[in-house]
């Protein structure tokens, strides 16, 4: 009777421990290469709706056809250990595009766990999306939409509007209108809060293992004697 209980107990331990572990991180090898597929929006975080992804894809295709400027957006759920949003953006930009292809490329990368974003532009694109606009896109467009409720879809759509306008040679429409009564502090995910949550999950997992495994071992021993 006790022997029959061991496998279910061990299975329960495994399930609980798996749930306690952090969400798997995303590295550069986990993301599709846009040079091998018709890829304009990559969403491994599962935050961008299908309709908005289709809309963005159509918009970026049209921009590329009319101007030669290409925009791609990436949303991931969690960075690899030791990776930063800037280092990942750098690696993606240099890995996805050869030097001869980078001039007209613009890449926006977003990590939904920390709500950090980064933008990279090629030499020709940088003349249109200058440093001031790039910083404003990250802080005032993406940042604002995330601070006001983690609106990832809106962040990509608003960024798309600005990038397409600027890369088409039009005037920058600017960031979303700031609403004064928004409580920024309470809506933005802090990196330290994220780390504390991950640490707590690991501790819970180890406590569960420390409790259940000795019990399972004892039952196994008793049933065999």
Query: Angle 50-67/152-167 helices, nearest 10 degrees?
Result: 10
Residue corresponding to tokens 């990368």: 109
**Spatial distance between the Cα atoms of 183 and 139, rounded to a whole number of angstroms:** 16
Domain boundaries in the chain?
2-23+190-224, 31-187
> What pLDDT, in 10s, does the model give residues 30-59?
677 776 568 999 999 999 999 999 999 999
Cβ–Cβ contacts within 10 Å for residue 29, how many? 7
Which pTM was predicted? 0.71
- 200 has pLDDT over 70: no
What number does CATH give the domain 31-187? Answer: 3.10.310.50
Which DSSP string corresponds to 38-97? --SEEETTS-S-HHHHHHHHHHHHHHHHHHS-EEEEEEES-BPTT--HHHHHHHHHHHHS
**Spatial distance between the Cα atoms of 93 and 50, rounded to a whole number of angstroms:** 25
Cβ–Cβ contacts within 10 Å for residue 10, how many? 14
| Residue 130: pLDDT band with limits 50, 70, 90 | very high
- 186 has pLDDT over 60: no
> What pLDDT, in 10s, does the model give residues 133-156?
999 999 999 999 999 999 999 999
**Spatial distance between the Cα atoms of 67 and 128, rounded to a whole number of angstroms:** 12
Residue corresponding to tokens 């609403």: 179
């Amino acid at each position: 009777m006790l022997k029959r209980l061991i496998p279910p107990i061990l299975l329960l331990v495994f399930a609980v421990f798996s749930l306690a572990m952090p969400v798997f991180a995303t590295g550069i090898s986990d993301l599709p290469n846009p040079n091998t597929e018709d890829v304009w929006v990559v969403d491994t975080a599962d935050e961008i709706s299908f309709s908005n992804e289709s809309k963005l894809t159509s918009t970026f295709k049209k921009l590329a056809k009319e101007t030669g400027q290409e925009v791609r957006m990436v949303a991931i759920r969690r960075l690899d250990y030791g990776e930063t949003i800037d280092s990942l953006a750098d690696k993606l930009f240099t890995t996805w595009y050869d030097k001869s292809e980078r001039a007209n490329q613009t890449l926006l990368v977003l990590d939904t766990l920390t709500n950090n974003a980064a933008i990279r532009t090629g030499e020709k694109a940088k003349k249109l999306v200058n440093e001031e606009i790039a910083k404003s896109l990250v802080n005032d467009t993406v940042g604002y939409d995330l601070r006001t409720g983690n609106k990832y879809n809106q962040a990509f759509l608003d960024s798309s509007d600005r990038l397409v306008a600027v890369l088409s040679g039009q005037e920058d429409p600017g960031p979303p209108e700031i609403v004064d009564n928004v409580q920024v502090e309470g809506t933005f995910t802090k990196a330290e809060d994220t780390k504390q949550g991950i640490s707590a999950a690991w501790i819970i997992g180890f406590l569960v293992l420390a409790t259940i495994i000795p019990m399972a071992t004892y039952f196994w021993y008793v049933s065999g004697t």
